[in-house]
Amino acid sequence: MRRLRSLILAGLVAVAAAAPAVASEEMEYPKNEWSHGGVTRGFSNIFGTFDRKALQRGFQVYKEVCSACHSMNLLSYRNLGALGYNEAEITAIAAGYDMTDGPNDEGEMFTRKGVPADHFKAPFANEKAAAAANGGKAPPDLSLIVKARKGGEDYLVALLTGFEEAPAGFALPSGGNYNKAFAGHVIAMPPPLSDGGVTFADGTKATVEQQAKDVATFLAWAAEPNLEARHQMGLKVMIFLLVLAGILYAAKRAVWADQH
Amino acid sequence: MAHGPSSSFKNPVVNWLDQRLPIFTMIQKEYGVFPTPRNFNYFWNFGAIAMIMLVTMIVSGIVLAMHYTPNTNLAFNSVERIMRDVNFGWLIRYIHMNGASFFFIAVYIHIFRGLYYGSYKKPRELLWMIGVVIFLLMMATAFMGYVLPWGQMSFWGATVITNLFSALPLVGQDIVTLLWGGFSVDNPTLNRFFALHYLLPFVITAVVFLHVAALHVTGSNNPYGVEPKGPQDTLPFHPYYTVKDSFGTVVYLAIFAAFVFYAPNFFGEADNYIPANPMVTPPHIVPEWYFLPYYAILKSVTFDITIPFTGLKLIEAKLGGVIAMFGSIAILFILPWLDTSPVRSARFRPLFKKGIFAFLVAFFLLMYVGAQTADAAWHLGGLEIPLVYVGQLATLVYFGFFLSLPFIGLIEKPLPLPASIAKPVLGGGASAAAGAAKPMEKA
Amino acid sequence: MADTTQTAGHGPGSGSHSGGDPSRRDFIYLAAAATGAVGAAVTVWPFIDSLNPAADTLALASTDVDLAPVQVGQSITVTWRGKPVFIRHRTAEEIKSAADVNVGELRDPQTDASRAKKPEWLVVVGICTHLGCIPLGQKNSDPRGEYGGWFCPCHGSVYDTSGRIRKGPAPRNLEVPSYAFKTDTSIRIG
């Protein structure tokens, strides 16, 4: 069995060694440090928690910039409690939006102020309207974007900071923008962030890179809001299982003591 | 089972029950004193582990079903509601999601163990075949379960796999329409997949009972592949193997938990977090990892099979691929009769051991090739090897292994077998070949 | 190989152990069993708790109601946690008849003052405490029973103008939900 095992291992190593030759064709993104460890990266930081300040700044970037075109349909204002806002603040944020509700007793739709239980207000009435207003393709919903793209947060940062002049000879179609991180390099979204485009309440300098990292943190939380609960419970479960495994191993040794 | 004399138990309630329905006698007989070969290694844990995983999947699945909505407009959001709003919903969903992978890992190791130690041979042919049925049912269940979150991979996986049946001559398209309940994968498809995904695990449970019942008729195989010759070769199942299985299971669960809590999306695909869109195919469709080898075999048949010199098409490439893919599982059913060697364990079969190693490498290669795009290639120092060729070679090895078994059995010279489990002649020194050649035991 | 298919089992091995100190061994078995049992018990909780109301359900647990359009003598029904809540703008006679009852004679003794935060507004969950039917009496044309409150058509329970059980099989008064007046003419239930 031992010989077989080493042979299998050798085979796997051979396959793994050859694999990068293919994988290198996929795009790689610079890896950033994330206090939460990265949602799509496995085993990255088992104690990771979200940076609350970054979350709030990221939410501000989303609110002031991204939300003009991108919906976040899976989130509700009540969820913002996880960012460190208190109930009054959340109620105030929600009340800043007019929601269509109804029909009322007369059968009419009506407008009311948003409440914490409301989902994030979408910029467009429906996907067709979003597509019509954006050159035929609706901007993707951002609720799960970090989990829905290979590279997760790192990809978003690379994308948001990846706008540049198209290299000479690159045929850029009209309405397209050159982005070095985007597959095919032609993206319909114009560069959304600019230095000082938002003003952070905590005094952090709003560079494009800072905004990109903050909004990526916020979107990582949006995609995986239970990450912290998961990490905390994981630790307890792992410790328990390892202790139980140890006890069972001792029990196994004791049972088998007279058979070896 | 019920006809044996019932045991006598100290507890009067147990005794009362047992005299009317001898379940305790049965448990005592099948899991208490059941004589089990004393020389199991840790490979023998994986049957118990697989059973625990089945229970885990059923329990977590039932709870998920209480929150899930099988409707194309609501399915994706209902899953996200589980992840976000349902108490511990994220935990239960991640257990179910990763549990599928860990169920398959356990079963693959279990199958490999059976292959390596010849557990499929007489008198355990039926035991093996029932196992293959479980494996098939698992694959059907897993496939339909993957459709339920209604992400992009769900939808396009369902479309591609159901379209396999369109390769069948004459009735193919009708069968596909029947499977769909419409003209594409749509709400009726999702509804029936949910119903079947809920049903099949209970069918699996029933077949697992048959599997265990068959096992307890023949008794377990063991690493030597030599039948126990007397009480000195066996141990009662309890406590020896209950404690060993418990230990192995908990270690396995710890690895499982590490993925659930720290890398829950490791086995997943980013595209499945995008809601299904019947108008846009993702650039790179891949099935779940446990289907990759078969997917690679499917992709490997890129040629029509024609009658030589006539140009007459016998089997189109599409149908050929489907036949090869289903054939790769179907061949397991006749494995007990393909292998002609009287010796079970690969430990004493040098040639078979080489074959099974080649098979294993081919299996992992296929798994790798299955995950790559159709036009991918290896670049080795200026040399470009299209992965299609690698897949085709691996497919040849996969089938070649099984089809060469009759001949391997004829030409192979097995190593001397131990006289019994309790007195292995090969024990002690590492230089096994130097051991005195005892007369080989004939079946 | 086929000549030996089954072997007789021998007795459970626990008695025949030779190595190790028996009390230490028993401790290990006990520890293993106890730890495993605790783990299994704790594991059950997430599965049970997942059946409790989810976060989105709880977020909708309070309802704001504007009372301004409700005329004296009129009743409205609003939905709160998926249940009907009866809000009645009571007339002076109704308030008086509710207050004048001898509490001691009631099946479920409660004063009207303890059930209505403001006498002119009665807020009760419109579910009969017998078996969960919805009593009649919200519309003026509905039968309201002999006490002018509500009448449950299922099994004939009769409630008064304070929503208290007066006749029939129901054991308790109509439940008063937790609510608060945000202004003079608007309340938040829940």
Residue type, B259: F
pLDDT category of residue C20 using cuts at 50, 70 and 90: low
Question: Nearest Cα to B293, choosing from B271, B320, B325?
Answer: B325
In DSSP notation, B268-318 reads S-GGGGSB--TT---SS----GGGHHHHHHHHH--S-EEETTTTEEEE-HH
pLDDT of residue B263: 95
- Say if residue B135's pLDDT is above 70: yes
For the segment B58-87, what is each residue's pLDDT rounded down to a tens digit?
A: 999 999 999 999 999 999 999 999 999 999
Percent of chain B with pLDDT over 70: 94
For residues B366 and B398, is the Cβ–Cβ distance under 8 A?
yes
pLDDT of residue A17: 52
Dist CA B104 CA A139 (whole Å): 38
For the segment C39-80, what is each residue's pLDDT rounded down to a tens digit?
A: 999 999 999 999 999 999 888 878 888 899 999 989 999 988
Percent of chain B with pLDDT over 90: 83
Q: Which CATH number fits domain A28-75+119-225: 3.20.20.150, 1.10.760.10, 3.10.20.600, 2.60.40.10?
A: 1.10.760.10
Task: Indicate the SS3 state at residue A181.
Answer: coil
Question: Nearest Cα to B19, choosing from B32, B4, B29?
Answer: B4
Chain C closest-CA separation from residue A254 CA (Å): 6
- Structure-model confidence comparison of residues A5 and B172, the more confident one: B172
Q: Which residues of A touch B262 (CB under 8 A)?
A: 42-43, 46, 231, 234
- Say if residue C132's pLDDT is above 70: yes
Dist CA B435 CA C13 (whole Å): 33
Q: Which two tokens stand for residue B335?
A: 């494995």
Dist CA B330 CA A29 (whole Å): 43
For the segment A108-122, what is each residue's pLDDT rounded down to a tens digit?
A: 999 989 989 999 999
For residues A20 and A131, is the Cβ–Cβ distance under 8 A?
no
> What's the mean pLDDT when you consider all of chain A?
89
- Cβ burial, residue A204 (10 Å; 0-12/13-18/19+): middle
pLDDT of residue A42: 85
Query: Taking every pair of C-alpha atoms in chain C, what is the biggest distance, in angstroms?
Result: 99
Paired with C64 in beta bridges are: C188
Report the pLDDT averaged over residues B230-240.
92
- Say if residue A12's pLDDT is above 80: no
Phi then psi dihedrals of residue B195, to 5 deg? -60, -45
Q: Is the CB of C43 inside 8 Å of chain B's CB atoms? A: no
B284 assigned ligand-binding residue: no
Paired with A163 in beta bridges are: A179
Dist CA B346 CA B362 (whole Å): 18
Q: Which residues of B touch A147 (CB under 8 A)?
A: 265, 270, 273
Residues 6+ apart with CB under 8 A from B421: B37, B38, B39, B222, B224, B226, B228, B229, B233, B234
Enclosing H/E stretch for C76: strand C75-80
Report the pLDDT averaged over residues A214-234.
96
Task: Indicate the SS3 state at residue B342.
Answer: coil
Q: Is the CB of A115 inside 8 Å of chain B's CB atoms? A: no
- Say if residue C8's pLDDT is above 60: no
Could you tell me the CA-to-CA distances from C49 to B96, B403, C148 in Å, in that order?
17, 53, 43
Highest mean pLDDT pick, A14-23, A63-72, B422-431: A63-72
Percent of chain A with pLDDT over 90: 75
Nearest CB among B33, B85, B230 relative to C54 is that of: B85
Chain B closest-CA separation from residue A38 CA (Å): 10
pLDDT of residue C16: 42
| Cβ atoms < 10 Å from Cβ of B5 | 7
Q: Which two tokens stand for residue B258?
A: 């590490």
For residues B294 and B136, is the Cβ–Cβ distance under 8 A?
no
- Cβ burial, residue C39 (10 Å; 0-12/13-18/19+): middle
Q: Which two tokens stand for residue B114?
A: 């059976």
Could you tell me the CA-to-CA distances from B206 to B138, B139, B209, B373 in Å, in that order?
13, 16, 5, 39
| Cβ atoms < 10 Å from Cβ of B12 | 8
Task: Indicate the SS3 state at residue A260.
Answer: coil
Domain boundaries, given as residue ranges, for chain A: 28-75+119-225, 226-260
Q: Which residues of C touch A247 (CB under 8 A)?
A: 28, 31-32, 35
Dist CA A225 CA A223 (whole Å): 6
Helices (H) and strands (E) in chain A, counts: 8, 4
For residues C107 and C130, is the Cβ–Cβ distance under 8 A?
no
Report the pLDDT averaged over residues B418-433.
62
For residues B425 and B348, is the Cβ–Cβ distance under 8 A?
no
In DSSP notation, B204-253 reads HHHHHHHHHHHHHHH----TT-----SGGGEEEHHHHHHHHHHHHHHHHH
- Say if residue A141's pLDDT is above 50: yes
Contacts across the A-B interface (CB distance below 8 Å):
121
Dist CA C54 CA A225 (whole Å): 15
Q: Which two tokens stand for residue C88?
A: 């009645």
For residues B35 and B219, is the Cβ–Cβ distance under 8 A?
yes
Enclosing H/E stretch for C75: strand C75-80
Chain B closest-CA separation from residue C85 CA (Å): 26
Q: Which two tokens stand for residue B13?
A: 């309630």
pLDDT category of residue C13 using cuts at 50, 70 and 90: very low
Enclosing H/E stretch for C131: none
Rg, chain B, Cα only? 25
Contact C10 B35 (CB under 8 A): yes
Dist CA C177 CA B225 (whole Å): 72
- Say if residue B337's pLDDT is above 90: yes
For the segment B313-335, what is each residue's pLDDT rounded down to a tens digit?
A: 888 889 999 999 999 999 999 99
Nearest CB among C16, C35, C60 relative to A243 is that of: C35
pLDDT category of residue A196 using cuts at 50, 70 and 90: very high
Report the pLDDT averaged over residues A30-59.
92
Question: Nearest Cα to B54, choosing from B146, B135, B158?
Answer: B135
Domain boundaries, given as residue ranges, for chain B: 27-269, 295-419
- Say if residue B414's pLDDT is above 90: yes
Q: Is the CB of C12 inside 8 Å of chain B's CB atoms? A: yes
Dist CA B151 CA B148 (whole Å): 8
For the segment B358-383, what is each residue's pLDDT rounded down to a tens digit?
A: 999 999 999 999 999 888 889 888 88
For residues B401 and B360, is the Cβ–Cβ distance under 8 A?
no
pLDDT of residue A105: 76
Contact B240 C11 (CB under 8 A): no
Q: Which two tokens stand for residue B311?
A: 């140009």
pLDDT of residue B223: 96
Contact A248 C20 (CB under 8 A): no
pLDDT of residue B425: 55
Question: Nearest Cα to A233, choosing from B36, C45, C180, C160?
Answer: C45
- Say if residue B165's pLDDT is above 60: yes
Active site residues of B: 216, 220, 244-245, 288
Q: Which two tokens stand for residue B70?
A: 């099988």
For residues B319 and B167, is the Cβ–Cβ distance under 8 A?
yes
For the segment B257-304, what is each residue's pLDDT rounded down to a tens digit?
A: 999 999 999 999 999 999 999 999 998 899 999 999 999 999 999 888
Chain B closest-CA separation from residue C24 CA (Å): 16
- List residues forming the annotated binding site of A for heme c: 66, 69-70, 189
For residues B77 and B20, is the Cβ–Cβ distance under 8 A?
no
Chain A closest-CA separation from residue B255 CA (Å): 9
Q: Which residues of C touch B84 (CB under 8 A)?
A: 55-56
- Say if residue B442's pLDDT is above 50: no
- Structure-model confidence comparison of residues B424 and A189, the more confident one: A189
Dist CA B369 CA B376 (whole Å): 9
In this structure, which long-range contacts are made by residues B196-200, counting pairs with CB atoms below 8 Å and at least 24 apart in sequence?
A: B196/B140, B196/B141, B196/B144, B197/B61, B197/B141, B197/B144, B197/B145, B197/B148, B198/B61, B198/B65, B200/B137, B200/B140, B200/B141, B200/B144
In DSSP notation, B152-200 reads HHHHHHHHHHHHGGGGSTTTHHHHHHHHHTSSSS-HHHHHHHHHHHHHH
Dist CA C96 CA C114 (whole Å): 14
In this structure, CATH architecture of domain B27-269: Up-down Bundle (1.20)
Task: Indicate the SS3 state at residue A100.
Answer: strand
Chain C's closest residue to A253, CA to CA, is C25
Task: Indicate the SS3 state at residue A30.
Answer: coil
pLDDT of residue B436: 39
Q: Is the CB of B4 inside 8 Å of chain C's CB atoms? A: no
Q: Which residues of C touch A110 (CB under 8 A)?
A: none
Question: Nearest Cα to B102, choosing from B42, B51, B61, B153?
Answer: B51
Q: Is the CB of C33 inside 8 Å of chain B's CB atoms? A: no
Q: Which two tokens stand for residue B121?
A: 């041979």
- Say if residue B244's pLDDT is above 80: yes
For the segment B16-70, what is each residue's pLDDT rounded down to a tens digit?
A: 999 999 999 999 988 899 999 999 999 999 999 999 999 999 999 999 999 999 9
Question: Nearest Cα to A11, choosing from B149, C95, B368, B40?
Answer: B368
Q: Which of B242-251, B424-433, C66-75 has the lowest mean pLDDT?
A: B424-433
pLDDT category of residue A11 using cuts at 50, 70 and 90: low
Is C155 considered catalytic here? yes
Q: Which residues of B touch C36 (CB under 8 A)?
A: 246
